[in-house]
Structure 1
Amino acid sequence: MSDSVLLTHLKAATMVDTASGYGLIKDAGIALEQGQIRWVGQIHDCPAEIAKLPTHDCGGRLVTPALIDCHTHIVHGGNRAQEFEMRLEGASYEEVARAGGGIVSTVKATRETSEEDLLEATLRRADALISEGVATIEIKSGYGLDHDTELKMLRVARAVASARPINVSTSFLGAHAVPAGADADSYIDDICIPTLKTAHAEGLVDVVDGFCEGIAFDTAQMRRVFEAARALGLPVKLHAEQLSNIGGTALAAEFDALSADHVEYASDADAEALARSGSVAVILPGAFYAIREEQAPPIAAFRKHGVHMAVATDWNPGSSPLGSVLLAMNMACTLFRLTPAEALAGTTRSAARALGFSDRGTLAAGQRADLAIWDVTSPAELSYGIGINPLHKRMFGGQFDAD
C-alpha cells in the first residue's frame, strides 16, 4: 500500500481525552502519511489536498487506535498448570509461593531454557496478542533472578520487535522475587542492582519494575532499586498492593512512577497520591480472577481523584495465564465495573501513558499509524464479547498486516 492513504467509510473511536468517552466520529476519514496519522475528522470536512490521496474503503467498520498491552511476562520457560490444580484444591497464592512454587518454579524453568527456545515460545504469545489488534506490548524480565538469565530474558524481549511487526517496551524486573536460599537485602545489592546497570549499559532496559509485597520486597529494598534507576535516568513502575498494603503505591507515586500495577489493596490516599504524581493505575483482572482474589481495586477512588486507569493481561505462567487483551477488557468491566469506554481507554490512551509513550493510543494528527479495524457496530462490543475476536485488519506503522 502507498505510504499515503485516506481511509474512508468508517467510524473512528479517536480515544482523545474528551467527555464523550470514545471520541467517536461517524462518517469519518483518517489520512495516513509515512507511518503517521496526518488528519482525522468527518469526511465531509476533509481538506482538498487530503481528498486527493489514494483511498481505502473500510466498509463502515469501526477504527480504533491499535491496542496496547502494558503489562506482560511473556518471556518465560515452562508453565504452572500444577499450581492451578493446587489453588483449586484450596491453596492460596501466598501459600503456593511459600511452598516453593510460584515465581521461583518459573525461575528454574527459565534458567534451563535456551535463548532460542525462549524466543520461539515468546513469539507464539506475541502472535496471539497481534491477532487481537495489539501493536505495542510491554515485556518484563524477572524469571531469572541472576545476572545471566535476566539479561537473556531482556535480549529475547528485544528480539521480538525484530521478528514481528510489534513495538516492545522492556522492563527490568530483577526485583521480582527473592531467589531460594538468598537474603533479600544481599540479593538487591549484589545481584539485582549490578545486573540492572549491565542491562542498561547494553541498551536492554526501557523501564525498571519491582514486586513490592510481603512475599517479595519491602519499600526500603524497592527504594534502593528505584534510586539506582533514577541514577541511570530510567523511569520506574511497580507491582504494588496486590495482596496487602505495605506502602508500594505511595513509594511509586513518590518516584513519579509511570504506573502502579494490580493495586487491589490501594487506599483512597494511594489514589490521591497517584493523581498528584500522574502515575497510571494498571488494572489486571486476569490475576484477580486466577487467584480468586476478593479485594477489588478502588475504582471509585481512582475515578474520584482522576487517576488514569490502564487495563492489561499480566500474561504470566502462574497468576494470570491470560493471552487475550479483549478478554481482559471484558473482565475489567464485569469484575470491576469499568465502563466499556474506560476499558478501551485502558488499552489505548492510558496504556500508552503507563509506558511513557505520547505518540500512540489515540487517533490524532502526529500519532503513529497503528490502527485496528473491527467488524463491530459500536465500541462497546469490544468489551462486551467473551472469547470473541472481531478484528478485521490491523495496521502497523501505516501498513496492513499480510493476510
Structure 2
Amino acid sequence: MDFWITNLSGLFDGYNFTKGPINIEVSDGKIINITKNKINHKSIDGSGKILSHPFVDGHTHLIFAGNRFNELSQKLNGLTYSQILESGGGIHKTVKQTRDASDEELLHLVMNRLDLMLQQGTLNVEIKTGYGLSTSEEIRLLKIINQANQLHQIDISPTFAAAHVYPNDISPKDYVNEIIDEMIPYVANHNLATSTDVFCDKGAFTIDDTLTIFDQSQHYKLPIKVHAEEIAYTGIAKIASKKYDMLSADHLLHAKQDDFETLSSNNVVAMFMPTATLGLFTKSYPQGFKNTNVDIGLGTDFNPNNWTTSMQTVIRMAVYLYKLSPINAMKAATIGSYKSIYGHSQEKLTINSKATFILIRSNNLSEFVSKIDQNLITDVYKDGKLLFQKN
C-alpha cells in the first residue's frame, strides 16, 4: 500500500525533532520519501500532528491477576511499601492471586492490557514474570507471555524475574538453589526469556544471592537486568554493571552520580519509572545522572502497585518529576528503552526505514508534554499498516 502523510507539524525520528511542515511517503511497509516540498498527490492530512517513533515500554510486570487497591488506604495511613510486604501483602498477595488464575484468564488480562498500551502509542513491551515464585508457576507465566507475543501486534520481550521476593513457602536458600538449578537452565534451554532480572533491595534479594543468580544467568547466556537502589541504597547497580554484561539497572531512586558514571562506562541503560515513584509515596528521585553520559530509558512499571499503561504519562512525569527535557524524555521512551530490551540502538525513522510510527496531535514536544492528562495518539502504524486510529 502506498500513501502520503502531508503537512505534519514535526518529525521525531528517535534522535532529533525536525519542525514541519513535513511530508512523508510510505510504500511496501517502508518510508521511501521525506520532504518539505509541496506534494500534489492525494494524501492523509497530518496538520497539527507529529510523526514519531512508537513508544517502547522497557519495564513492566504485566502478567498478574487480582489487584491491591486496598493498599492505597494503608499507605495513606502511613504504612510503607516494605511494611505492607512484610505483613504478607504487596507482591505476596499478588502471587497468591496469580497462582489461582487459569492460563486463559491470565492471557486475557495480558491481551487487554496490551490493547490499552497500543492505543497509547506503544509497540514494544518488556514483560517480567515474578508473581509465580516457583518453577512450575514461573515457567507457566513465561509460556503465557510467549503466547501473547504470537497473538498480539505489540512486540514483546519476556524477562525471567523469579527473583522478585523470597516466597513464603520455601527457605531463601532453597529458593535460590531452585532458581539456579531448575529454573534458569530450563528457561534458557527452551528459549522462554530474553533476559533475567533480580529485585535486589531492602526486603527483597540480598546482594550475595543476586550475584549467585547472575552468575548462573551469565553461564546460560541470559542477559541481565537488575531492580536497583529503589527502596534503599545497596550499591548493586555499580557492583553488577562492573561484573556482568548487563542491559539495564532499573529504578535507581537512591543512586548516586558515581553509580550513573559506572553504568555509562559499562554501556548499561539507566531505566526510570517515574509513575512508580508515586505509588511508593516517596519524594526520592534519581539524582546525579544529568552530569553523566548514561543512556536513559523509560518504562511504565505496570504492576498492581502502579496501574499505568500510558507511556505518555511516563514521559510527562519524567519531565515534571525528574526534570528531563521533552526531547530527552522522548528519546528515553523510544531509543533508550529499546536499547534496554535489545542491547543495541534502534534504527532512526528515515528513508528506507520501516514505516512503524505513531501520529501525535501536537504541534511540538512541549505542547505534547504540557497536556498532562490527554491521550494525544491519533494513529498507530506498523510496517505501513494502520493498527489503531482514534475516532
Preserved CA contact (<8 Å) 1:14 1:362: no
Percent of aligned pairs with the same amino acid? 26
1:291 aligns with 2:280: yes
Pair 1:182–1:59, CA change in 2 (3 A) = same
Q: Distance in 1 between matches of 2:245 and 2:6?
A: 41
**Contact 1:219/1:251, CA 8 A, preserved across alignment:** no
Kept in 2: contact 1:372–1:391 (CA 8 A): yes
Return the offset for 1:7: 3.4
Equivalents in 2 of 1:345, 1:134: separation in Å? 14
Name the amino acid aligned to 1:277. N
1:314 matched residue in structure 2: 301
Find out whether 1:177 has 2:171 as its counterpart.
Answer: no
Aligned AA for 2:6? T
* Counterpart among 75, 80, 100 of residue 112 in structure 1: 100
2:74 is paired with a residue whose SS is helix
SS of the residue aligned with 1:310? strand
Partner in structure 2 of residue 10 of structure 1: 8
The Cα shift of 1:376 comes to: 1.1
The alignment status of 1:143 with 2:128, answered yes or no, reads no
Counterpart CA distance in 2 for 1:93 and 1:276 is 32
How far is 1:13 from its partner? 3.0
Distance apart, 1:10 and its partner CA: 1.6
SS in 1 for 2:23: strand
Structure 1 pair 195–304 and aligned structure 2 pair: CA distance change class (3 A): same
Q: What CA distance in whole angstroms lies between the structure 2 residues aligned with 1:68 and 1:5?
A: 25
1:372 aligns to what SS in structure 2?
A: strand
Alignment partner for residue 125 of structure 1, among 113, 132, 148? Answer: 113
Residue 18 of structure 2 aligns with which residue?
24
- The runs of 4+ residues in structure 1 deviating greater than 6 Å are 51-54
Q: Please state if 1:62 is matched with 2:50.
A: yes
Once the two structures are TM-superposed, the CA of residue 341 in structure 1 deviates from its matched residue by 1.4
Q: Which residue of 1 aligns with 2:266?
A: 277
* Structure 1, unpaired ranges of 5+: none
Q: Return closer, same or farther for 1:109/1:361 CA change in 2, 3 Å cut-off.
A: farther
Check if 1:375 corresponds to 2:361: yes
Distance 1:358 1:6 in 2: 30
Paired residue secondary structure (1:380): helix
1:339 aligns with 2:325: yes
CA 1:307–1:389 in 2, change beyond 3 Å: closer, same or farther? Answer: same
2:249 counterpart residue number:
260
Distance 1:198 1:366 in 2: 39
- In 1, distance between residues paired with 2:177 and 2:352? 43
The answer to whether the 8 Å contact 1:66/1:361 transfers is: no
Cα distance in 2 for residues equivalent to 1:345 and 1:252: 25
Q: CA deviation at 1:121?
A: 1.0
Tell me by how many angstroms 1:181 deviates: 4.1
Unaligned segments of structure 2, at least 5 residues: none
* Structure 2 counterpart SS, 1:287: helix
Question: Can you list the C-alpha shifts for 1:81-133, whole angstroms capped at 9, x where unaligned?
Answer: 12222111110011011111111111111111011000111111111111111
Tell me, what secondary structure is at the counterpart of 2:373? coil
- 1:267 aligned partner, one-letter code: K
Q: Map residues 80-99 of structure 1 onto 2, 5 A cutoff.
A: 80-99=68-87
Q: Could you tell me which residue of structure 1 aligns to residue 36 of structure 2?
A: 43
| Count of residues in Structure 1 that have an aligned counterpart in Structure 2 | 388
Residues 59, 126 of structure 2: 8 Å contact kept:
yes
CA distance in 2, matches of 1:365, 1:302: 33
Distance 2:204 2:253 in 1: 17
- The code of the aligned residue for 1:94 comes to S
Q: Contact 1:119 / 1:156 at 8 angstroms: preserved in 2?
A: yes
TM-score (norm 1): 0.90
CA distance in structure 2 between the partners assigned to 1:361 and 1:75 by the alignment: 29
Contact kept? 2:10, 2:364, Cα under 8 Å: no
Distance 1:142 1:192, change over 3 A: farther
Contact 2:200/2:207 (<8 A) preserved? yes
Question: Of residues 289, 301, 309 in structure 2, which corresponds to 1:302?
Answer: 289
**Structure 2 equivalent of residue 323 of structure 1:** 309
Residue 183 of structure 1 and its aligned partner are, at CA, apart by: 2.5
Aligned to 1:221: 209
Pair 1:401-2:390 in alignment: no
